[in-house]
Chains A and B, each alone.
Chain A
């Protein structure tokens, strides 16, 4: 693996290696609970907390965890933090806890969290594990809020529960129903694909030094 600077540890998870939008990890919660901005925020923050907590613990304990049972050990650590998050959310914001339902408990099997433990926290010192977890967690939170905003705006005509479009707006109910989740992420990925394609086409001719033409350009 290439050596990275602490700054890269923090920043890459937010955009370049965004867990949901680029790596397509942790899709289940990203699609299931993003029918409103409020739920997306709660889910994003809970996942952020679990990721940060387990990264710190895994990084601290990495010398004592035997290699053979490491995955089970990570899962146990993650499950502990999820139980904490579950109980806290239930006590502080019971309505949101109810709306998110089983998906709070299902943070345990979010492959993004286990992936970060295996790929990063178990190999690096605590400080950098914290940066990596914070970056990845923030990237997850941002992706969830983007999806939640699109779906709530179109499906309910509101943002954080406040009506935006006025009384004449006919909400696109489908956006807050399950298919809307697939469609929203699908169109975001189509957008990325379009952007990449455009960038590739712009870059290609400039790669050649002055006076050198490609076969395609000669033919044209």
Chain B
């Protein structure tokens, strides 16, 4: 039990996907303008990450031992079709939720955090349950980073920033500072 807990905490804080491992930077830069959109994007990510983890465990257990060179191709095909299926199902079951998430779901296919999760999970030899906790932790970490960034950016919109720093330059420096702060969590494990 404690192992599972530490996998979750590690994926969320110590090895935060966005700020420490540099996975999923496109949504981090693109949709971190508002806290409300950041939260929704985070939710969609947690959802897709969890399903991907389950499917990756399944593939690792039953299919890939027979054809290891197909790993990358099968992962990406599965993720792309999975996102497509999830989109169709949500559209049918809950049109309201679909409108909320609509734009973000297709974007998730090319989010490297999803494929990264499947690959890391495989490389570390996580089983089903460990993978699940890993995915939820990673999703929570992504959401945390997105929301933190969005709250800072909402504040800087009102600030008088020098002309040369307007746009992405400032966002990257802010991200660097956040990343610096997250490095502090590395100490969690030494004790």
Mark A residues whose CB is within 8 Å of B: 24, 27-29, 31-32, 71-72, 75-76, 79-80, 82-83, 86-87, 101-102, 105-106, 108-111, 114, 174, 177-183, 185-187, 189-190, 192-194, 196-197
Q: How far is the CA of A109 from the CA of B25 in the complex (A)?
A: 12
Q: Is the CB of A182 within 8 A of B169?
A: no
Task: Enumerate chain B residues within 8 angstroms of A114, measured Cβ to Cβ.
Answer: 110
- What is the distance, in angstroms, from B148's C-beta to the closest C-beta of chain A? 14
> Is B21 an interface residue when CB atoms closer than 8 A count as contact?
yes
Given the known inter-chain contacts A79-B73, A105-B115, A109-B115, please indicate yes or no for A24 contacting B29, CB distance below 8 A: yes
- What is the distance, in angstroms, from A97's C-beta to the closest C-beta of chain B? 13
For the A-B complex with A101-B123, A182-B173, A193-B166 known, give 11 more contacts whose Cβ atoms are closer than 8 Å. A27-B26, A32-B23, A71-B80, A75-B76, A102-B120, A105-B119, A111-B26, A178-B179, A183-B176, A187-B173, A190-B164
- What is the distance, in angstroms, from A39's C-beta to the closest C-beta of chain B? 13
Q: How far is the CA of A24 from the CA of B30 in the complex (A)?
A: 10
Q: How far is the CA of A31 from the CA of B29 in the complex (A)?
A: 13
Q: List 12 A-B contacts (CB under 8 A).
A: A79-B72, A102-B119, A105-B119, A106-B115, A106-B119, A181-B176, A182-B173, A187-B173, A189-B167, A190-B169, A190-B170, A196-B164
Task: Enumerate chain A residues within 8 angstroms of B69, measured Cβ to Cβ.
Answer: 83, 87
Q: Interface size class for chain B? A: 35 or more
Q: Is the CB of B110 within 8 A of A31?
A: no
Q: Is the CB of B176 within 8 A of A106?
A: no
Task: Enumerate chain B residues within 8 angstroms of A190, measured Cβ to Cβ.
Answer: 164-165, 169-170, 173
Task: Enumerate chain B residues within 8 angstroms of A80, measured Cβ to Cβ.
Answer: 73
Q: Is the CB of A27 within 8 A of B29?
A: yes
Q: How far is the CA of A27 from the CA of B169 in the complex (A)?
A: 13
Given the known inter-chain contacts A83-B73, A182-B179, please indicate yes or no for A28 contacting B25, CB distance below 8 A: yes
Interface centre among A24, A101, A177, by most B CB within 10 Å?
A24
Given the known inter-chain contacts A108-B72, A108-B76, please indicate yes or no for A102 contacting B116, CB distance below 8 A: yes
> Is B35 an interface residue when CB atoms closer than 8 A count as contact?
no
Q: Is the CB of A72 within 8 A of B173?
A: no
- What is the distance, in angstroms, from A176's C-beta to the closest C-beta of chain B? 12
Q: How many A-B residue pairs have CB under 8 A?
A: 117
CB closest residue in chain A, given B21: A32
CB closest residue in chain A, given B107: A111
Mark B residues whose CB is within 8 Å of A: 19-26, 29, 69, 72-73, 76-77, 80, 110-112, 114-116, 119-120, 123, 163-173, 175-177, 179-180, 183
Task: Enumerate chain B residues within 8 angstroms of A179, measured Cβ to Cβ.
Answer: 176-177, 179-180, 183
- What is the distance, in angstroms, from A77's C-beta to the closest C-beta of chain B? 10
Task: Enumerate chain A residues within 8 angstroms of B123, measured Cβ to Cβ.
Answer: 101-102
Task: Enumerate chain B residues within 8 angstroms of A189, measured Cβ to Cβ.
Answer: 167-169, 172
Interface centre among A76, A79, A83, A86, by most B CB within 10 Å?
A79
- What is the distance, in angstroms, from A143's C-beta to the closest C-beta of chain B? 14
Q: How far is the CA of A72 from the CA of B77 in the complex (A)?
A: 8
- What is the distance, in angstroms, from A72's C-beta to the closest C-beta of chain B? 6
Q: How far is the CA of A4 from the CA of B23 in the complex (A)?
A: 35
Given the known inter-chain contacts A82-B72, A83-B72, A193-B166, please indicate yes or no for A178 contacting B115, CB distance below 8 A: no
Task: Enumerate chain B residues within 8 angstroms of A87, measured Cβ to Cβ.
Answer: 69
CB closest residue in chain A, given B25: A27
CB closest residue in chain B, given A180: B176
Task: Enumerate chain A residues within 8 angstroms of B21, measured Cβ to Cβ.
Answer: 32, 178
Q: How far is the CA of A120 from the CA of B168 in the complex (A)?
A: 26
Given the known inter-chain contacts A106-B116, A182-B179, please indicate yes or no for A24 contacting B164, CB distance below 8 A: no
